[in-house]
Amino acid sequence: MSIPASFRRVLEASDPNCAPGGNPELVIVYGDQRRQFLECYTMEAIEEVDAKIAALPRGSKGRKILERMFNGQSLPTSVDETGRLVLPAKLRQKIDLDGEAFFIASGDTFQIWKPETYEAVEMAEAEKMMEDLPEGFDPLELLDGAGGA
């Protein structure tokens, strides 16, 4: 599948081993059966996650869960010369992807969804979150005070 150019630029900038115009590496976290999407981490993002996991107490339940997900249920890969990401059949089958994919960015990660699953799952969740807000609430108010500004 072809990675959107803006996503490729983020992957390139966040891979310290990627030469300009090279093939950036990334890690695809697929997780267990409850996860209905693939989450792609830049190299800098996965290093940050790994450092946070390593800071947890060795043998703790949280560390074991996160190690299993980020180490055992993930796939290191790279973008090829044509700007594409080759998804193994195992990952395509996991999210039931047989045609077009839906990409959604979130800072230094992006998710790959089957479009119909995204509509059914994520859009329903977004609507539920909005329903829980007071009438007339402007979501932009959530930005007030964010980022120290």
CA 99, chain centre distance (Å):
19
Indicate whether 141 pLDDT > 70. Answer: yes
Establish if 142 belongs to a structural domain: no
pLDDT tens digit string along 100-125?
Answer: 999 998 888 999 999 999 999 888 88
Establish if 148 belongs to a structural domain: no
Tell me the C-alpha distance between 83 and 49, whole Å.
25
Establish if 34 belongs to a structural domain: yes
Place of tokens 């093939």: 23
* Predicted structure pTM score: 0.83
pLDDT tens digit string along 24-48?
Answer: 999 999 988 889 999 999 999 999 9
**Is the CA virtual torsion 10, 12, 90, 30 positive or negative?**
negative
Q: Which residues have a Cβ under 8 Å from the Cβ of 49 and sit 6 or more positions away?
A: 41, 66, 70
CATH code of residue 122: 3.40.1550.20
Identify which of 114, 71, 69, 123 has the alpha carbon closest to the alpha carbon of residue 96: 114
Establish if 147 belongs to a structural domain: no
Question: Do residues 51 and 107 touch, judged by C-beta distance below 8 A?
Answer: no
Establish if 54 belongs to a structural domain: yes
State how many domains the chain has: 1
- Biggest distance spanned by C-alpha atoms of the chain: 50
Establish if 82 belongs to a structural domain: yes
DSSP run (H or E) holding 48 = helix 43-55
| Domain limits for position 15 | 5-137
Band (147; pLDDT cuts 50, 70, 90): low
pLDDT at 73: 94
Establish if 93 belongs to a structural domain: yes
Establish if 145 belongs to a structural domain: no
Tell me the C-alpha distance between 1 and 132, whole Å.
37
